[in-house]
Amino acid sequence: MNILYLYTEVMGYNLSVFDHLADDYGAMVHVVRWTHKNNTPFQPNPTSRVKYYDRSLYSTEELCKLAKVLNPAVAYISGWQDKGYLPVARELKASGIPVVMGLDSQWVGSIRQRIGAQLIRRVYKKRYFSFAWVPGPLQYEYASRIGFLKSEIICNLLSGNTDLFSHSDSALDGDKSNRYPKQFLYVGRFVEAKGIDILIAAYLRYRNVFRGDWKLKCVGNGPMEKHLLKAQQDNHEISVEPFADQSVLVRYAKESGAFILPSRYEPWGVVAHEFASAGLPLILSDAVGSKQQFLVNGYNGYEYPSHSAESLALVMHRLSQKSEENLREMGRRSTHLGLSLCPKISAASLISVSKVSRDE
């Protein structure tokens, strides 16, 4: 059985889903991916059951030929951002192969979305896509608005690599049981949309106004790195690390006491799932889509209004004032919430609408 992915930028968390498709269903996974203008330096390694194709080397006509040769049981397309993928989707759908559209955008009900939904419903949905694959309820609403029936929407699109990150929660009964690490952790791109400037301002307020003693580690890459490095010059409690592989992130999780995602805009936020399953209490802005699944305010962390450095500083203070046992318990709760979704479930969700499954 062949499975075809027509993708934009492949990330580390995608690989565990590909592996489960191969291991659990005997699939050969073919991934066409962007290799230029990517947001991170991540590079996937091919395996015996996962083959990668450089999008820049294929014309639309060549992609159509590739898809015809592969004759996949199901094809996944990451939205309509790459217009060159759409003719492939149209041919596959016309031949009876299920074409699944990934949708991670939140429905907010703006005028632009409402107008766009009518166009998508009339043109894109009918011509190109059989199913919508969404990560959460806000995306489910979007899929419904653009014409997908309940029977045409599947869930569990985006999963962190819980197989890897859940190993970190053992530290709650190991090193963290002896001395809980006083360190906030941020992992992601250093860009305005992620709220890096808000994080810096909030942390300085946490240190200066609340006299907090926790450190801050920021891991990633992007144009706002210079702002972090400038803040680091005056505040040695801030450390800045480059983009790291997931195995390194697991180590950072063991060395940290809470995870912060201060995004202004975050359709989902797989990284919150990863560090929840790693056993870290979470501090998430209300813009983070995955908070609905992985954060219960006051139970395993805190939510705060995005754009507000003052509110972020306050919840940083509130969390850091917890006893070590309370922090460990919040971490256990995060793990429990994080394990409500895993790559195995994500892979099964895609297979559920494949031609093989539907023919059974």
How much is the pTM? 0.94
Q: What is the helix (H) or strand (E) element at residue 41, kind and residue range?
A: none
Q: Are residues 263 and 281 in the same domain?
A: yes
Q: Which pLDDT score, from 0 to 100, does residue 357 have?
A: 62
Residues of the domain holding 119: 2-159+342-359
Portion of the chain with pLDDT greater than 90, in percent: 88
Q: Which pLDDT score, from 0 to 100, does residue 359 have?
A: 59
Q: Are residues 154 and 26 in the same domain?
A: yes
Q: Are residues 223 and 287 in the same domain?
A: yes
Q: Are residues 312 and 348 in the same domain?
A: no
Contact 251, 185 (CB under 8 A): no
Q: Are residues 47 and 170 in the same domain?
A: no
Domain harbouring 99, CATH code: 3.40.50.2000
Contact 270, 249 (CB under 8 A): no
The separation between CA 155 and the C-alpha centre of its own chain, rounded to angstroms, equals 14
CA dist 19 and 32 (Å) reads 16
Which amino acid is residue 328, in one-letter code? R
Count CB neighbours of 261 within 10 A. Answer: 25
Q: Which pLDDT score, from 0 to 100, does residue 46 have?
A: 85
- Write the pLDDT tens digit of every residue in 46-87: 899 999 999 999 999 999 999 999 999 999 999 888 999 999
Q: Are residues 13 and 113 in the same domain?
A: yes
Number of domains, the chain? 2
Which parts of the chain sit beneath pLDDT 70? 169, 171, 173, 356-360
Q: Are residues 54 and 113 in the same domain?
A: yes
Q: Are residues 130 and 266 in the same domain?
A: no
Q: Are residues 315 and 348 in the same domain?
A: no
Which amino acid is residue 55, in one-letter code? R
Beta strands in the chain (DSSP E): 2-6, 28-33, 50-54, 74-77, 99-102, 131-133, 153-154, 183-187, 215-220, 238-242, 258-261, 282-285, 301-304
Q: Are residues 230 and 171 in the same domain?
A: yes
Q: Are residues 203 and 307 in the same domain?
A: yes
Q: Are residues 191 and 154 in the same domain?
A: no
Q: Which pLDDT score, from 0 to 100, does residue 253 have?
A: 96
- Write the pLDDT tens digit of every residue in 105-162: 999 999 999 999 998 888 889 899 999 999 999 999 999 999 999 999 999 999 999 9
Q: Which pLDDT score, from 0 to 100, does residue 79 have?
A: 83
Beta strands in 14-162 (DSSP E): 28-33, 50-54, 74-77, 99-102, 131-133, 153-154
Bridge partners for 132 per DSSP: 101, 153
CA dist 335 and 350 (Å) reads 24
